[in-house]
Amino acid sequence: MNISIFGLGYVGCVGAACLAKLGHHVIGVNHTQGKVDLINAGKPTIIEADIEELVKEAHERGMLEATTDYRYAVKNTDVSFICVGTPSSKDGHLNLDYIYRVARQIGEGIREKDSFHIVAIRSTVLPGTNQKVGEIITEASGKERNVDFTVVSNPEFLREGTSVQDYMHPPITLIGTDSEKAEAVFREIYKDIPAEFVCTDIRVAEIMKYVNNTFHALKIVFGNEVGNICKQLDIDSHKVMEIFCKDKQLNISPYYFKPGFAYGGSCLPKDSKALRTLAHDLYVDVPVINSIDQSNEIQKRTAVEIIESKGRRNVGILGLSFKAGTDDLRNSPIVDVIEVLYGKGYSMRIYDRNVRLSQLTGTNADFIQAKLPHLHQIISDDLDAVCMASDVLVITNKEKEYADLPARYPDKCIVDLVRQFNELDYEGNYEGISWANINCNPAQDKPIERDMVTTEY
């Protein structure tokens, strides 16, 4: 099948590569020439596990191309996916300008076609967006919905870092449509995906991502709060949650139930905020959902307090992106921690091998410019250099390359935000953010040599 994908960010790039892998011919559309050039050179626009090989293979097989010409893309395809961003405003409402702009472009392309065209909204949007997109396409094309074209909602359930695996093996394939023809086409598109195909009402499909992500956000905070209580009682919180997660019938999923650092990224903060805003607009009181962000901010403050408690001025942050295996800095919680410590006079150094300053573009670049404009002075891709220059090492992403840090740097203070180690025999000082001490070495009880009398300025 011939498919066009509007937007070549995380969702669009992964979708283009995976659909090509499934045997479809894909045309990626983006207004940024640089991203188009990358795809046409057989290179991905993002850093993500397995994506480089998929894009290269699709390009070599002639199954994937990219263009800035939206009319060309619509004319030469039967299905168009909308995968552009939907950033949220300060009050939680979504900015749908990119969605509507693409809808108008697709409508202009459909005006020049005689065949039936299907538009699929893959971006995360609130209920009612599908209807509005249909109205814009009708106006731009002069054609009738469900006669000349239709609009379906096909939300994605991808996690950055494992998005290719999630695309090819999703929990479900969800389609919201009022068109039997569109349902049949999407069953054909996804026929080789080993997941239940669920076809439902459009508005049901539109709200599912928000419900899912708000629940995922809740699970992370719940695990952290349990961990913080257990830590004060000298109880191993990971053993508690491991047993808790054995109940697969009621507790649903163990994935997010791990005490650790605050959540971040492009989805959980934005989508939980959007659901809170939606409830507020509908005059519905949701005290638990409203408390999620507050608890998440407390977890950030807890990280700052633990780092400050070490009394050492030189701090090394190991991992800047919000999650291991990605270069996404959007709403990365450690950035807030760095910002606070930097403002208090700490000497900061950062290691992250996935974040390349020269390649920061779009939302990543805007976010860093607003939060850490001096980033280029303190970030490095040399792990040993950062560790040697730091007295406190803060592990923010679980990575194999950090596994031997206690052996290589026995005199450091280690602050673990992700449970990098299950147990530890370490001469230096170790502290986890939300679990009781796992360090069995008595040498850790030696008083810390402090070089800061106070951390308040």
Domain regions of the chain by residue span: 2-200, 201-457
- Average pLDDT on 446-454 reads 73
pLDDT at 379: 85
pLDDT digits (tens, 9 = 90+) for 315-353: 999 998 877 766 667 678 998 999 999 889 999 999 988
Place of tokens 């001025």: 313
Distance CA 9, CA 26 (A): 15
Q: What percent of the chain has pLDDT over 90?
A: 59
pLDDT at 457: 44
Is there a shared CATH topology between the 2-200 domain and the 201-457 domain? yes
Distance CA 32, CA 144 (A): 31
- Average pLDDT on 179-199 reads 96
Segments of 276-327 assigned E as strands: 314-318
| Architecture of domain 201-457 in this structure | 3-Layer(aba) Sandwich (3.40)
pLDDT at 354: 75
Q: Show the DSSP H helices in 41-148 as ranges.
A: 51-60, 70-75, 97-111, 129-141
Classified as helix, coil or strand, 82 is: strand
* Tokens standing for residue 289: 């959902």
Mean pLDDT across the chain:
89
Distance CA 357, CA 258 (A): 31
Amino acid at 94: L
pLDDT band at 195 (very low <50, low <70, confident <90, very high): very high
Place of tokens 């091998």: 353
pLDDT at 269: 86
Q: Which helix (H) or strand (E) holds 341?
A: helix 333-343
Rg for the chain, CA atoms, rounded? 24
Q: Report whether 318 contacts 393 (CB < 8 A).
A: yes
Of 20, 23, 22, the closest CA to residue 58 belongs to 20
The whole-model pTM stands at 0.72
Of 13, 89, 99, 90, the closest CA to residue 58 belongs to 13
CA distances in angstroms from 85 to 329, 369, 431, listed in the order given: 15, 19, 38
Distance CA 122, CA 261 (A): 29
Catalytic pick among 83, 267, 387, 413: 267
Q: The domain 2-200 belongs to what CATH superfamily?
A: NAD(P)-binding Rossmann-like Domain (3.40.50.720)
Residue 115, pLDDT > 90, answer yes
User: How many other CB atoms sit within 10 Å of the CB of residue 68?
Assistant: 13
DSSP 447: P
Classified as helix, coil or strand, 357 is: helix
> Known catalytic residue: 199?
no
Which of residues 83 and 362 earns the better pLDDT score?
A: 83
Distance CA 175, CA 155 (A): 7
Residue 34, pLDDT > 50, answer yes
pLDDT at 94: 85
pLDDT band at 453 (very low <50, low <70, confident <90, very high): low
How buried is residue 56: exposed, middle or buried, by Cβ count under 10 Å (0-12/13-18/19+)?
middle
pLDDT digits (tens, 9 = 90+) for 278-299: 888 888 788 888 898 999 999 9
pLDDT digits (tens, 9 = 90+) for 268-278: 888 888 878 88
pLDDT at 61: 96
Give helix then strand counts, H and E, for the chain: 16, 14
User: How many other CB atoms sit within 10 Å of the CB of residue 386?
Assistant: 22
Distance CA 343, CA 338 (A): 8
* Tokens standing for residue 118: 């299907």
